[in-house]
Amino acid sequence: MTYTTILTEIRGRVGVVTLNRPQAMNAFNTLMLTELFNALETFDKDETIGAMVVTGNEKAFAAGADIKEMAESTPFGMIKQGRVELWDRIRGIKKIVVAAVSGWALGGGCEFAISCDMIVASETAKFGQPEVTIGIIPGGGGTQRLARLLGKNLAMEMIINNRTLTAAEALQFGLANRVVPVDGYLDAAVAFAEEIAARAPLAVRMAKDSINTAFETTLTEGLKAEKRNFYPLFSTEDQKEGMKAFIEKRKPNWKGK
Ligand code: CO8
């Protein structure tokens, strides 16, 4: 498939998508969002791919939704174009998506990064939600995900006071999983994703689904959902293989079955 606003490559078992609108600080216009999700959904269906990485460039992961595209938008225009549904496509991805963030992750850029499953940040990464400074609020899930990830007060400060988090703060507050040197940050993120890609695919998928359920429901319902994902794994070849390999003191050979 050919894309005009993103680049895609496969490194080992990791599908990598690079946002590629450097002239606009990788601001998400409708085309780039559509291409990004088309690429992620294609990787998600590809059995040779075990995990994905989304990155930008050193200076900007993404500076938000494209303000120039949005400036004259109307509510019904946005509804008709399905803009909100477009951002929501990240929730349909079953494999693990790692955001490799360097430089600015602002507005929709920060929202997209925190919609991914994990974040590897370069030392220069900066996370912020400046929407209020241009007269709107986050619309790609930022108010909900940041409140859940960071708690109410810090989410308030980021969204209302335009507080930006440095990479070190993002790590300290649990928004980033790793902070790595800017040189080679993408390689570090791909290596991180490779580790995930080497794990039992069905177990990873069920684990992701179960953890995401924790954000949606009560503890009692969440525990039931976990059991619904736990028991079926005992019908997989990978469970038999994983436990046998442990007992035989060897590496398991996963089949994804
Ligand atoms: N949209 C469009 N163009 C942008 C954006 C953006 N978000 N960010 C930067 N650009 C463009 C600039 O206009 C500039 O273009 P030009 O050269 O044609 O003037 C070019 O990128 C380079 O930018 P700067 O000259 O500003 O570069 P600096 O290094 O001085 O500053 C910043 C970098 C700090 C990233 C700065 O560009 C900035 O503040 N950008 C805007 C950040 C922002 O406000 N983001 C929030 C956008 S709103 C949003 O994301 C809402 C999400 C809702 C999603 C749900 C929809 C349904």
User: Could you tell me if 122 and 224 lie in one domain?
Assistant: no
Is residue 255 assigned to a domain? no
Q: Is 51 a catalytic residue?
A: no
The enclosing domain of 114 has a CATH number of 3.90.226.10
User: Could you tell me if 101 and 223 lie in one domain?
Assistant: no
Q: What global pTM score does this model have?
A: 0.97
Nearest CA to 203 among 178, 226, 177? Answer: 226
Is residue 119 assigned to a domain? yes
The three-class DSSP label of residue 127 is strand
Structure tokens at 194: 């490779």
**Mean pLDDT, the chain, whole residue set:** 97
User: Could you tell me if 130 and 25 lie in one domain?
Assistant: yes
Query: What per-residue confidence (pLDDT) applies to 189?
Result: 98
Could you tell me the strand order of the sheet in which 14-19 lies?
Answer: 6-11, 14-19, 51-55, 96-101, 118-122, 178-180
Q: Which residues line ligand 1 (CB under 6 A)?
A: 24-25, 27, 63-68, 78, 83-84, 87, 104, 106-108, 130-131, 134, 138-140
Select from 197, 222, 237 the last residue of a domain.
197
- Using the predicted structure, report yes or no on whether residue 1 has a pLDDT greater than 90: no
Nearest CA to 101 among 158, 179, 4, 32? Answer: 179
Distance CA 247, CA 69 (A): 58
One-letter amino acid for residue 206 of the chain: M
User: Could you tell me if 142 and 220 lie in one domain?
Assistant: no
Is residue 71 assigned to a domain? yes
Query: What per-residue confidence (pLDDT) applies to 250?
Result: 97
Q: What percent of the chain has pLDDT over 90?
A: 95
Q: In which domain, by residue range, is 130 found?
A: 6-197
Q: How many domains does the chain divide into?
A: 2
User: Could you tell me if 124 and 175 lie in one domain?
Assistant: yes
Q: Is 195 a catalytic residue?
A: no
How far, rounded to the nearest angstrom, does the alpha carbon of residue 38 sit from its chain's CA centroid?
Answer: 15
The enclosing domain of 216 has a CATH number of 1.10.12.10
Q: Which of 23, 25, 87 to mutate to test ligand 1, by most ligand atoms within 8 A of the CB atom?
A: 25
User: Could you tell me if 192 and 206 lie in one domain?
Assistant: no
Reported as a single tens digit per residue, the pLDDT across 180-205 is 999 999 999 999 999 999 999 999 99
Partners of residue 60 on adjacent β-strands: 104
**Residue 165, H or E segment:** strand 165-166
Tell me how far the alpha carbon of residue 222 lies from the centroid of ligand 1, in angstroms.
Answer: 39
Query: What per-residue confidence (pLDDT) applies to 84?
Result: 81
